[in-house]
């Protein structure tokens, strides 16, 4: 018998993966699918996914790409035509000048964010994350062995962190700032004045870079989208991330991109070259067609998202104990729900936090939502509003009824 056979069993898994949390949104969606499979009529409002089909002209381009033989490996940072089209998009929509060597196309904004975090952050460096934040930011920072420093906005300010808060949080170890606008989960949109003030703070701290996640750019109900990279004092230190999942309803295609200074873009390309290579050749041709088609299809979807937001807010404003800011973009509502903590459910259990409340709503109302913990806001709960109008009305009717039992 070998001596190793007598040793206590040790997990083969790395400390890195054991320290990582599973995505809370994916976990909740999994639970609601399990209930669905058992025949329960669950309305899933936990996922951040448009319920629209990808526009037909984009699907047609993908079919054409197959027929034209686009089945080979592509350059790691993307096909040249797509990188150029992304530069044209930045010029048209954001008045930003990039060259193709500053663009890295990836398998979704998620990979672009991970590429940037892993390419910039050293172990022990701090990453300021505007909170509430998207679930994956903190885990990406952990993966890079950085230290996530959540910085919370207030309910009164629609959860937007101010320039003064940022100034106070920057230390000599700060490397990066991460945020999304429009924001998932809050739907908040930073104004030109607010981002300008943030840019001024960053300008005073040349060791700090910024990762601006603009994946919800097109889903904006206030009209003006401002990019942090538009402020000349910081343009060189901003990595702008965007993609096709939300604006073009292309979640399953896996296509995103970042734009950055050439040395940072090259680093992200190197990271990607060793992990995934170029994203799907057919998807890239579809993305090219999407951009060439402009944003008309997105505008149609945005009109529906806006209508649904208003529909849901009308119902939710009547729910006692929910404090719900009006989202300016994206497709979520993010009420503060702490008034329900400490209450007793019909089965005798106590709702102690937003996770308990989310589980109660899943089991009692058959509506799945995500607890705010995963977004750095444990007093809140996130509902997606990307569902058909009648589903939303029914879901929030059930939520209201279930909450009344507490
Ligand atoms: C804020 C934010 N960033 C990035 C992503 C990832 O987008 P993609 O599907 O392009 O990877 C999401 C998706 O939910 C998101 O909400």
Of 264, 153, 256, give the one whose Cα is nearest residue 214: 256
Rounded to the nearest angstrom, the distance between the alpha carbon of 293 and the centre of ligand 1 is 22
Q: Are 103 and 148 in contact (CB under 8 A)?
A: no
* Tens-place pLDDT, residues 9-54: 788 999 999 988 877 777 787 888 889 899 999 999 988 888 899 9
pLDDT at 30: 81
Residue 232 has pLDDT above 90, yes or no: yes
Token pair belonging to 321: 């104990």
Residue of 50, 134, 140, 212 with the most ligand 1 atoms within 8 Å of its CB, for mutation: 134
End-to-end CA distance of the chain: 60
User: Which tens digit of pLDDT belongs to each residue from 387-403?
Assistant: 999 999 999 999 999 99
Where does 70-151 have alpha helices with state H?
Answer: 80-94, 109-120, 136-143
Q: Tokens in use for 170?
A: 């920057």
In whole angstroms, what is the distance from residue 200 CA to residue 292 CA?
35
CB crowding 60-94: b at 16 or more within 10 Å, else e: ebbeebeeeebeeebebbbbeebbbbbbebbeebb
- CA dist 122 and 99 (Å) reads 27
pLDDT for 1 = 46
Q: What is the pLDDT of residue 20?
A: 87
The pLDDT tens digits of the residues spanning 272-326 come to 999 999 999 999 999 999 999 998 999 999 999 999 999 999 999 999 999 999 9
Q: Cα(406)–Cα(381) distance, rounded to whole angstroms?
A: 16
What pLDDT was estimated at residue 260? 98
How far is the centre of ligand 1, averaged over its atoms, from the C-alpha of 48 (Å)? 8
Atom of ligand 1 nearest to the CA of 251: 9
Please report the pLDDT score of residue 127 as a whole number. Answer: 98
Structural domains in the chain, CATH included, are 20-49+297-404 (3.90.1150.10), 56-294 (3.40.640.10)
Two structure tokens written together for 184: 């998932």
Mutate to test the pocket of ligand 1, among 28, 48, 115 (most ligand atoms within 8 A of CB): 48
């Amino acid at each position: 018998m070998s001596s190793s056979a007598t040793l206590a069993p040790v997990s083969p898994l790395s400390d890195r993966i054991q320290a990582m949390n599973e995505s809370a949104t994916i976990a909740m969606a999994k639970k609601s699918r399990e209930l669905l499979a058992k025949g329960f009529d669950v309305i899933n409002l936990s996922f951040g996914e448009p319920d629209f089909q990808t526009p037909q002209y984009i699907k047609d381009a993908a079919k054409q790409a197959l027929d034209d033989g686009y089945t080979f490996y592509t350059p790691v940072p993307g096909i040249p035509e797509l990188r150029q089209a992304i530069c044209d998009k930045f010029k048209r929509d954001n008045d930003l000048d990039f060259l193709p060597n500053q663009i890295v196309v990836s398998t979704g904004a998620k990979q672009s964010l991970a590429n940037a975090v892993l390419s910039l952050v050293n172990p022990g460096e701090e990453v300021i994350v505007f909170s509430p934040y998207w679930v994956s930011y903190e885990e990406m920072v952990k993966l890079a062995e950085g230290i996530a420093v959540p910085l919370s906005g207030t309910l009164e300010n629609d959860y937007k962190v101010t320039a003064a808060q940022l100034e106070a949080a920057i230390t000599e170890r700060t490397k990066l700032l991460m945020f999304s606008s429009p924001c998932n989960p809050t739907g908040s949109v930073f104004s030109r004045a607010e981002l300008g003030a943030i840019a001024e703070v960053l300008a005073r701290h040349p060791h700090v870079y910024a990762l601006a996640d603009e994946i919800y750019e097109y889903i904006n109900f206030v009209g003006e989208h401002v990019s942090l990279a538009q402020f000349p004092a910081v343009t060189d230190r901003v990595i702008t991330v965007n993609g096709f999942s939300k604006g073009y309803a292309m979640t399953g295609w896996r296509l995103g991109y970042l734009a950055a200074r050439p040395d940072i873009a090259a680093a992200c390309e190197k990271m990607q070259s060793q992990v995934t290579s170029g994203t799907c050749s057919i998807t890239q041709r579809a993305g090219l067609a999407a951009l060439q088609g402009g944003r008309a299809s997105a505008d149609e979807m945005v009109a529906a998202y806006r209508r649904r937001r208003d529909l849901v807010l009308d119902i939710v404003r009547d729910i006692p104990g929910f404090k719900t800011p009006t989202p300016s973009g994206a497709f979520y509502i993010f009420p503060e729900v702490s008034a329900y903590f400490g209450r007793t459910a019909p089965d005798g259990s106590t709702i102690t936090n937003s996770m308990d409340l989310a589980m109660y709503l899943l089991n009692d109302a058959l509506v799945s939502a995500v607890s705010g913990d995963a977004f750095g806001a444990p007093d809140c709960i996130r509902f997606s509003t990307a569902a058909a109008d009648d589903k939303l009305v029914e879901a929030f009717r059930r939520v209201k009824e279930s909450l009344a039992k507490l």
